[in-house]
Amino acid sequence: MPSGKSDTSPDPNAIESEVVRETIRRYGALIPSAEELKAYEEAAPGSADRVLRQAELMQRLIREQVEFSRRNERTESRLRVAGFITGAFIALAGLGLAAFLAAKDFSVAATVLGALNGVAILLSGMAALRHEGGHGISGAGDELHKTEANS
């Protein structure tokens, strides 16, 4: 440090975060009761305003996280549908090609292509079932949705 002294004062951001966590734990909300806000203001003028600004900031951040989570879910859903449509098109094209080859007396090629196509369809179906069974990070958005509902 330039002054040669060690700074032992606590980090203000860490203190604010701890205050927010303790307030939510005690009250189930981001702000304390009106009586306690008044007591804070009497003890340290301007502190009630800081608590309210912090609560507003936290509420805005929570809402932004919820909205981001919802947009992400919609995007993932659209990508799954696009993947399904693309896979179905490829599978139908493969089956059509196998049928064409069979009609032209290329039975070995048609059989191999049909078998590979069947395996691809089976594997993609298994992957889709496995994906639907897991939801990414378990319950990641649950608390955010509950918090938004309570606000």
Say which residue, 137 or 105, is predicted with more confidence: 105
In a domain, 2, yes or no: no
Q: Is the distance from CB of 37 to CB of 48 less than 8 angstroms?
A: yes
pTM over 0.85: no
Tell me the per-residue pLDDT of 21-75, one tens digit each, with 9 for 90 and over.
Answer: 776 666 556 677 888 888 888 998 998 888 888 888 888 888 888 899 899 999 9
Query: How many domains is the chain built from?
Result: 1
Q: Which of 23, 25, 56 is nearest to 37 (CA)?
A: 23
Q: How far apart are CA 59 and CA 40, in angstroms?
A: 21
Q: Is residue 4 situated within a structural domain?
A: no
List pLDDT tens digits, range 75-134.
Answer: 988 998 888 888 888 888 888 899 899 999 998 999 998 898 888 888 877 877 776 654
Containing domain of residue 60, as a range?
12-150
